[in-house]
Amino acid sequence: MSRTTNPTPDPRRMLDLDPVTVRRARALARRAGKPVVNLAQRHTTVSVERAVLRLAGLEGADVEGIPWVNRLVDVVREQVGLEHGVALPVWDAMMREGDDLTTLAQRAAAGSVDFQIPEGKASTYAGRIARKDVSAGIRRIDASRRQRDRLIEKFGDPPAPWIYLIVATGDIYEDIPQAQAAAREGADVIAVIRSTGQSLLDYVPEGPTREGYAGTYATQANFRLMRAALDQTSRELGRYVRLTNYASGLCMPEIAALAGLERLDMMLNDSMYGILFRDINPVRTFVDQRFSRQVHARAGIIINTGEDNYLTTADAVEAAHTVTVSQLLNEYFAKEAGLEDWQLGLGHAFEINPEIPDSFRLELAHALLARALFPNAPLKWMPPTKHMTGDVFRGYLLDGFFNLAGALTGQGILLVGMMTEAVVTPWLSDRDLALQNVRYVFNAAGGLREDFRPAPDGFIAERARQVLGEAVDLLEDIVDDTLLEAIADGTFGLMKRPADAGRGLDGVFRKADGYLNPAGDLLEERATR
């Protein structure tokens, strides 16, 4: 695929934004986000605690397929609560009983372990051993990151934009040849869509899976199988093919940990998506989010945020500023958790109604605004879905314009649009046609960005400034009102989600004095031991 390798023009020169307004927008995002970070720091969740056990090496499931991490956390929770974290009572019991972690989990599930919150010397000792065991998992994540760097060095890194294709058969053994074929056809990034409904499972399924609805379960074994297959294909193609999955839903922290261990390269990870689109409790989400982002930061994983989703429910013109606000919040939460600019695949989408006049100029304005606001982030550019009507011919044209907007505004991650969106899950031919579309546009106009300078006082620049202005106004309201209230009021994607409702609330615990989470500590301290 011919893609421009010319140096990227500084996006800020394509669109002249008032630096004072930009600084103000970031400052407001920080003020809106800070109370949520404080809230997240004061709480833990069942999934954060299970992630700690996974990092310490607890794998496998009982005969019913319920993972041992769930069994163990449930017993601890029942006996002594999770306010002190799972580490202290579990490692205290291990020391007393002389068990390894798996044996302890099995015995605990059978009801033959008494947990207690250790005090004094016993507590210090349990904490120290817990940290030692968990740090082994953190070091495995570090090793995976180094391995990725080595393989990128060896196989080569594809030029931007990275072509992002989806596979979703439900069966990991079908997904693998499809993913390898997609990579051979030109995909730089393979996303394995998860089974519908996995986000609401409060456990991570185990083992290789062959039964999923509209997608394949995210499991550690599936991650490992797919990464190994893509390593093989990367070697064959001479470029590193990245693998994407979803750190979202009720098990986000655990899935982030598994992704780090198994060297996934990108993860869908939005600060508010679960709240808005899965009705997961806001507090649960923000706590899980923060931990998962800390893991991603450590693992060198690029996150993809989900702003494109707002535009599938709200109007893409009226709600353009909510995308900007969400991007700014996602940036703040990401940076706070230790992620760097190159890891921020902030999302946005080509979803303006094509019937309205100047829709393409509006798309360019919005895309350029995101580009100029986040000049060092890769940005994930999502194709039209809402106005794909089933008229596949018109859809193909829209996808062409989407690709052109992506080329003109220097998007880093290009999700390939399918003309059969809203009709069928993509056929082989749909994918082939879609890639031809991308190739044609980038061959023909990949370098056009160099010549493209919207008039400083023209329609595009004015529109971008207007959206940024509206974003600042909305951020001011959010700061006055608090972010949790704004979410409850339906500010984003028109969904109303109060902080005291939603799924997973019963898995949230306020931390007690003496709470211990060795994984959290190692991540915060950026320590290896």
Residues belonging to the active site: 273, 308, 380
Residue 66 CA to residue 164 CA, distance in Å, equals: 33
Residues in the chain: 529
Residue 226 CA to residue 190 CA, distance in Å, equals: 10
Exposure of 224 in the CB half-sphere (CA atoms within 13 A): 10
Are 58 and 68 within 8 A, CB to CB?
Answer: yes
Residue 338 CA to residue 161 CA, distance in Å, equals: 25
10 Å CB burial of residue 421 (0-12, 13-18, 19+) is: buried
Are 413 and 381 within 8 A, CB to CB?
Answer: yes
10 Å CB burial of residue 86 (0-12, 13-18, 19+) is: buried
Q: Which is nearer to another protein, 342 or 427 (CB)?
A: 427
For 402-454, give the DSSP string: HHHHHHHTT-SEEEPP-TTTTTSSPPHHHHHHHHHHHHHHHHHHTTGGGT---
Residue 166: helix, strand or coil by DSSP?
Answer: strand
Q: Which is nearer to another protein, 45 or 198 (CB)?
A: 198
Residue 314 CA to residue 277 CA, distance in Å, equals: 12
Residues lying near another protein in the complex (CB under 8 A) are found at 170, 181, 184-185, 195-197, 199-200, 213-214, 277-279, 312-315, 386, 390, 422, 425, 427-429, 432-433, 494
10 Å CB burial of residue 529 (0-12, 13-18, 19+) is: exposed
Phi and psi (nearest 5°) for 68? -60, -30
428 CB contacts (<8 Å, ≥6 apart)? none
For 115-146, give the DSSP string: -----HHHHHHHHHHHHHHHHHHHHHHHHHHH
Residue environment code for 200-236, b if the CB has 16+ CB neighbours within 10 A, otherwise e? eeebbbbeebeebeebbbbbbbbbbbbbebbbebbee
| Six-digit token string for 334 | 């990401």
